[in-house]
Amino acid sequence: MILMSKSKFRISPPSGRIWNSERGTFIYNVPMPDKPTTIIQSLRPSSIEEYIGQESAVKTLRIFLDGVNKRGQASEHILFYGPPGIGKTTLSYIIARELKGDLKVTTGATLTKTGDLAAILTNLKDNDVLFIDEIHRMPKAVEEMLYPVMEEYFLDIIIGKGPSARTMRLPIPRITIVGATTKLAMLSGPLRDRFGLLLRLDFYHDEEMASIVKRSAKLLDIALSDDAAYIIAKRSRRTPRIANRILKRAHDVAQSHNVTIIDSKLLTKLFGLLEIDSVGLTDIDVQYLNAIANTFENDPVGVETLSSSLAEDKRTIEEFIEPYLLQIGFIKKTPRGRIVTQTGLKHLKLNKDISSQQDKLIW
C-alpha cells in the first residue's frame, strides 16, 4: 500500500506522461524499438527459436508463452535466477516480443520509493512486460506494494493525510512481471512464491558457447575461423557476456593490425594483452591459486588469510574469484579452508600430491 498526496502523480492523457513531483520531471513509457539500436541489443536473439542453450528453461518458457497466447492474456509472472551474464535480460526481451507488448526495464536498486514503482505501473498496458533486474535489491516497502499487483492486478494507494485520507484501488493492466536475480536466497518467501514460474539459468557448455560466438561474429560482420570461435568459447568462463566482450576486443586487435580474419594466432596476442589463460583464468585467479599452492604449500587457507595475502576484498574473493574456480574443479572448500585440487595443481604445472593435505584434514 502506498501513501501519497493528490498532487504527487498527475497523468497527462494526450501524451501518456506521468508527472513525478519528487523528481520534478515526467516519466515516459518508451516502447521497445522494432529494430535494435545498440550493439548489445543487436546481439540479443529476437525470438525463442534463435536462443542458444538453456534447453530445459527454454522448453518450459515456450510452453508458458504458448498458453498465454492462446488465452489472450497473461496470468503468471516469471522469475529467472542464476549467475550473471547468462541470458536473463535477453529472455525478458524475447518474452515481450512473443507477447506482442512493450518492455519496461528497471532494477531493484533504482526503485527506492513506492512512488517510483507506482509511476511505472500506471503507465503500462495489457501484455506489457515489466522486467526488474536484481529484484532482490528492492526495499521492503516497494516489494510489499507488488503483492496485490501480482495477485489481483490492483494497486493499493492512500490519497491524502490525516482524517481526510482515503483508500483507493487502481486497476493495473494485465502485465507480466519478470524478475531476475543472482541471489535467490535474498528474496523473501512471500515475493518468491508469487512468481508462477521459477527458471534457473546455468553456465553454458563449450559447444553452445562456440555457437554463440559464431552467431555474434556473423551479426557484427566479423570474419572468424572455427578454431578461433572454439578458443574464445573455452576462455569465456562459460558466459555469453564475456564471450561477446572478448570477440569485440579481438575485432579491435584485428583492425589495428589490418587483419581480415580473426584466427588463433591473433587470439594468442589478444589473450596475452588481456592476461587470460587457456581456461579463462585471469591474472588474479592465477595469483589466488599460487597463493594457496605455493605460499601456503597447499595447506587449508581461510578466506581472511587469502584476502590479506592478495590485498583483495573478502567479497571479491568469494563472489568474483572463487565461483568459477569451484565450477571447473580447481579448488575445494573444506571445513579448515581452501585447497587447490589435483586438477588445479596440474594446470599450474606443479607436481604436488594432495594426499598429505587430505590426511591432515582427516586427522
What's the Rg (C-alpha) of the chain? 25
Catalytic residue selected from 89, 122, 176, 239: 89
Alpha carbon 106 to chain centroid, angstroms: 13
Catalytic residue selected from 88, 97, 238, 332: 88
Q: Residues near 143 by Cβ (< 8 Å), separated by ≥ 6?
A: 188, 191
Quote the CA–CA distance of 75 and 67 in Å, as a whole number.
10
156 noted as active-site residue: no
Residue 230: exposure state from Cβ atoms within 10 A (0-12, 13-18, ≥19):
middle
Catalytic residue selected from 106, 107, 112, 182: 182
Length of the chain: 363
Catalytic residue selected from 133, 176, 192, 238: 133
182 noted as active-site residue: yes
Buried b (16+ CB within 10 A) or exposed e, 95-107: bbbbbebbbbbbe
At 286 the three-state DSSP class reads helix
Task: List, in sequence order, every beta strand (DSSP E) within the chain.
Answer: 2-4, 9-12, 17-20, 25-27, 78-81, 103-107, 129-133, 154-159, 166-171, 176-181, 197-200, 331-334, 337-340
Q: Is 102 left (phi over 0), alpha (psi -120 to 50) or beta?
A: beta
241 noted as active-site residue: yes
Buried b (16+ CB within 10 A) or exposed e, 75-92: eebbbbbbbebbbbbbbb
Three cell numbers, residue 124:
503500462
Catalytic residue selected from 44, 97, 104, 241: 241
Three cell numbers, residue 135:
529484484
Three cell numbers, residue 88:
536473463
Quote the CA–CA distance of 292 and 305 in Å, as a whole number.
10
Quote the CA–CA distance of 275 and 42 in Å, as a whole number.
28
* Catalytic machinery residues: 88-89, 133, 182, 241
